[in-house]
Each structure stands twice: as structure tokens, then as C-alpha cells.
Amino acid sequence: MDFGFTPEQDALRELAQKIFGDLSTHERLKVVEKDYDCFDRELWKKLAEASLLGLAFPEAGGGSGLGFLELCLVLEQVGATVAAVPFWTSVVCAGLPIARYGSAAQQKRWLAPLAAGEIVLSAALTEMPADDPLAPQTRAEPSGSAWKLHGVKECVPSAHLAARILVPARTAKGVGLFLVDPTAPGATLLRQQATNRHPIAKLTLDAVAVGADDVVGDPAEGAAALRWLVERATVGLCAMEAGIVERALRITAQYTRERKQFDRVIASFQAVQQRAADAWIGMEGIRLLVWQAAWRLAHDMPATDEVVIAKYWAAEQGHQAVYAAQHLHGGIGVDVDYPVHRYYLWSRHIELTLGCGARQLAALGERIAAA
């Protein structure tokens, strides 16, 4: 059995590597991070021109009609270059559910301009103190043909850039997915900063009106749509983590081959070799589990356990690997003028997003106990 990628997928990966590698450089990131929006608009435009933003959207929505596996190949490069673009939140968390459950009018209105790089979308999947994105406490109440939303969402990525924010909210009959205008009356954004230094926001909804044309799918069947979304968002995070860990370890390998101590390069020291080897083995485990889960999701197969296991391994082994990368650099590992520090910050951010390793392990244990 061939577990490799197709020639078309390999070509897509090479294209993504080229674009991200050329534009999301260490020097470019230092400039973008000083900007208030922390948004690389030039890179966003190039991704649109290369048809990477609409990669997994239907052709009717301005996309290429490819699948989730291809999307994860691009996400891997987002992580490898710690790119300052809202690819995950716009394309995976907001774009994919619109492509799957949205009406033709919604796809034309939102997916086509997103694929063209003209807008940014976001999704509000986190609430405090609850840590289960499948059980939102934000409420949606019917108001004639429209809805009124009440609640608070935390850690909403790129909310200050978003034309719409996809908000899961519970209704009298279940869970609905609503496209909220962040500038609408009753909607308030409080700027925050994520672990990776990117701007996020606390979104407060005080009777925010959402019209029927901004409801994604059937609110009575929204629980299944939310699970569909969260599983793909989680694996998307893991794909980015795979890219983060591999690049951090490659930077570390290069450094240890050049850094000398006692007139010998430190890569020749057994302790360094063992630490790096353990981290690399963990990274290979992340990749295996990511592609297993992504393949099942791409084929619409049940993947709940695979998604949980992938996120657990990405959180735990990812943290250990980037910590090892920083440790093997010594003091320069925390120098912000050196690139490796970003990989630790991004890895930590991903570890805590949509459930940390302990949360994933507990969820897996509950499923095993209930079986």
C-alpha cells in the first residue's frame, strides 16, 4: 500500500514552500510584528494569486475544489514559517463550514472574496471557563425571522480584521452557527494578545441581531456541523504544529553543527544527539497521527478518536520538542533577534488552543470508559 502523496499534492507542497519560504522570512516577520494588525498583507495577496486561499472551496465559491488533505499541506507550511496570516482561522474555521453547510448565496458572498484575498473571516470557538468548544454557552434566541445573540467569546483570532465572525451558539433546539458582523450594534471587541504575540479579541455579544441570511445551515442540526468544524480545526492546528516542530529542529540541527564548545561542535556530544533524536522521534509521531486523522476527515470517515490522539500527541510531544530546541540553543534560544523563539511561542499557543493535552487525554479516557 502506498502511503505517499500524489504528484499533484507534492507539487502543491512545493508551491506553498516556495511562497511561504520567500515571503515569511525572519527579517520580514520582525517588520510585520511591529505593525498594529500583525498581518502580512503582501503574503495574503500572494496566497490568493496562487489560489491557495480557496484551495478547498467549491469552484462555485471561487475555489479549486480540492480537499482537506491538500489544505493541511499548506497549513504545515504556515507553521514551518510561523507566517503572520490568518490562514487557519479564515480558511479552516470559517471558510470550510460555509463551503460545507452554507447556502449558495453565502458561498458567493463570503468564499469568493476570501479566496481572492479581499477579506478575512474568523471564528469564535472558545469560551471561559468552559473548555469544550462543542458545548457553547452563548445563546441565540429567535427574533422574528432573525436571531439575537447573547454571550462572551474569548481568544477570537484576527477579530479586528474580520468581515464576519462565525459564532456557535446554543438555541432552544440545539446549536446554531451564525455569521456575526463584529461592528454590529451590541457587539464589542476587546483587544488581547495571544501567546504567539498575534492580536486576538474578547467578543461580547449583547442582543446582537443576526439575519436569516447569516445563519449557516439549519440551527436544529448545528451540533453535527459544529463537531465537523471543530475536528477539522483541531487537525489543522496539528498540521501547523508538525511544520513548527520540524522547522525548529532543523534550525537546531544547523546551530549545533556550527556551535563549538571545548574545540568541538556540540552536535558531536552524545547528550545533544540523544536529546535531538528524542525530539525528532516525537515529531515523526506527530506527522503520522496528523496525516492519519486528516486522511479520515478528507474521506468523511469517523475520526473522533484519531483527532483526539493527534491533538494530544501534538500538544505533548510538540511542547517537548520545541523546548528541546530552545534548550540546545542555550541562551540564544530566547533571543528575539534569533528565529527559534517564535517556534516555541507558536507551539505553546497551539498546545492550549481547542483543548490542551490533558483535556484530550481525559476525553479519550471518557470514550474508552463508555465503550
> Which residues of the chain form beta strands (DSSP E)?
121-123, 139-143, 146-157, 164-171, 174-180, 187-193, 199-210, 215-216, 260-261, 264-265
Residue whose C-alpha is closest to residue 22's, from 4, 6, 41, 46:
46
DSSP structural state of residue 6: P
What's the confidence (pLDDT) of residue 2?
Answer: 67
The secondary structure of the chain in percent helix, strand, coil, rounded to multiples of 5, reads 55, 15, 25
Rg (CA), the chain: 21
What's the confidence (pLDDT) of residue 360?
Answer: 94
User: Could you give the domains of the chain?
Assistant: 7-118 (1.10.540.10), 123-218 (2.40.110.10), 223-370 (1.20.140.10)
Say how far apart CA 336 and CA 194 lie, in whole Å: 16
C-alpha cell recorded at residue 369: 470508559
C-alpha cell recorded at residue 228: 465537523
Please list the residues that pair with 150 across neighbouring strands: 139, 206
User: Which pLDDT tens digits describe the chain residue by residue (371 residues)?
Assistant: 567 899 999 999 999 999 999 999 999 999 999 999 999 999 999 999 999 999 999 998 889 999 999 999 999 999 999 999 999 999 999 999 999 999 999 999 999 999 999 999 999 999 988 778 999 999 999 998 899 999 999 999 999 999 999 999 999 989 999 999 999 999 999 999 898 989 999 999 999 999 999 999 998 889 999 999 999 999 999 999 999 999 999 999 999 999 989 999 999 999 999 999 999 999 999 999 999 999 999 999 999 999 999 999 999 999 999 999 999 999 898 888 999 999 999 999 999 999 999 999 999 999 899 88
- Using the structure block, give the residue that is written with the C-alpha cell 453547510: 101
Say how far apart CA 279 and CA 311 lie, in whole Å: 17
Q: Which pTM value belongs to this model?
A: 0.96
